[in-house]
Structure formats: structure tokens, C-alpha cells
Amino acid sequence: MTTTPVHVITVEREYGSRGGEFAHDLASRLGWRLMDSELLTAAARKACVPEETAAQFDDRLDPWYYRYGKVFWQDQLYSTATEPEDKVFNCERMYALIREEILEQAKVGNCVIVGRGGAAALAGKPGCLHIFVYATMAAKRDWFARNFPDRAMHAEQELAAHDKRRAAAIKQYYQQEWCARGLYHMLLNSCVGMEAMIAAVQGAMSARAATTQCVAG
């Protein structure tokens, strides 16, 4: 079995688990590029739409009536009245562009990719380390209350709804279960603290590199 040193890390995260913060700190510690909102920026640039427009589709599905209507819009009878697929910007188009960007950045390497199906897009690719960050509900409620004090009473509902949207998007565009353990190499509880999480990842990377040297030797 051949082992490749880690040159790409993907970080998927529960909403409120501080996984995005962890990814930022990890990229900074490693001296790697962070690909978070940068993925949206790239998708917007490729589609020639404002970045604010792309952000509206983040972690979303197209409405059911839109998806249902496409069956009719794509019929030859209506095809002359519709825009080409590569000219329409919607959730499906954005995720396709983001997937392209993820694959391109993975080829360059030395990057931490945050969410948006990175683990699914790069599943089975050598040199990747896929991480899922979670937290206790109490910790996520505290995070939500600090960031959205006016909505603190509805913290659990909003946390669950956000994760449900993420899961649905990954299922729709990657045909993968968002929180399936088999998709990830590491599951990290952010309650242990950022330093412990970063140390765990660096330990896994060092172990991978040592294994590679042994195989090569």
C-alpha cells in the first residue's frame, strides 16, 4: 500500500462548532492557503456574477419548484426560450463551479478547504486528509448566543436547520451523506480546544509522512 504525504486538508463542520475558525487557525499554523469564502469568490468570477449573488446560494438547494420546473424548461419544445445551462447561475451551477475550483486547488496543494463538499469532491484522492468538526449542543448553543443574542431562544432550531441544509446540498450535488464517518479520516470535537485539534492534525500529518518514508525506504 502506497501512502502519500498530506498536501490538502478538507474541513467539514457542524454549524456552531467553530470548525471555520479551526480551519483558519490550522491554515495559518501550517502556512497554507485557506479556501473558504475564496471558493465562492472563484465561482462568482467564473460565472461573471457578483460575489454577493454567489453567497446567497451557499449551503443551499434550488427551491423544489425550480428543480421541478427544469424538467419542463429543458424539453425541446421550450429549449429556444431558455438560457444555456452554463449561462444560468443557481445552486446547481454554483456547486459545479466550486467543485471545479476544489479540484484545481487540490492539484496546486498546500491548502485547507472549508466545507462545500470538499471531502466528497476529493474522496479517494491521494494526499488528502478529511476532517469533520463537531461539538456538543451546549457548546454550539453558547456560540450561537454570543454571535446572535437576539435569536438565542431559537438556537437549537437554527443550528439544526443550518446543518440540515448543508446535508441536503451535499446529498444533492455529491450523492454523499454529509456526516458519514467513512468519508472522513478524523472526527474532532472542538470542545477539546483549538490547540489540541491542531496538534492532533499535525500528529496525523507527521505519522503519514513517516509512513511514506518507510515505504519509500
Could you tell me the domains of the chain? Answer: 8-216 (3.40.50.300)
pLDDT tens digits, residue range 72-96?
444 443 444 455 555 566 778 888 8
pLDDT recorded at residue 41: 87
Please give the torsion angle defined by the CA atoms of residues 199, 202, 204 and 207, in that order, rounded to the nearest 10 degrees.
-120
- Mean pLDDT score, 156-179: 91
- Mean pLDDT score, 145-161: 94
> Rounded to an integer, what distance in angstroms lies between the CA atom of residue 100 and that of residue 46?
10
Specify the long-range contacts of residues 165-171, CB closer than 8 Å, at least 24 apart: 165/59, 165/60, 165/61, 166/15, 166/59, 166/115, 168/61, 169/59, 169/60, 169/61, 169/91, 169/95, 169/117, 170/117, 170/120
- Range with the lowest mean pLDDT among 7-16, 68-77, 107-116? 68-77
> Rounded to an integer, what distance in angstroms lies between the CA atom of residue 43 and that of residue 50?
10
**What is the Cα gyration radius of the chain?**
19
- Residue listed under C-alpha cell 469533520: 132
Looking at the DSSP assignment, which residues form a beta bridge with residue 130? 10
* Total-model pTM: 0.82
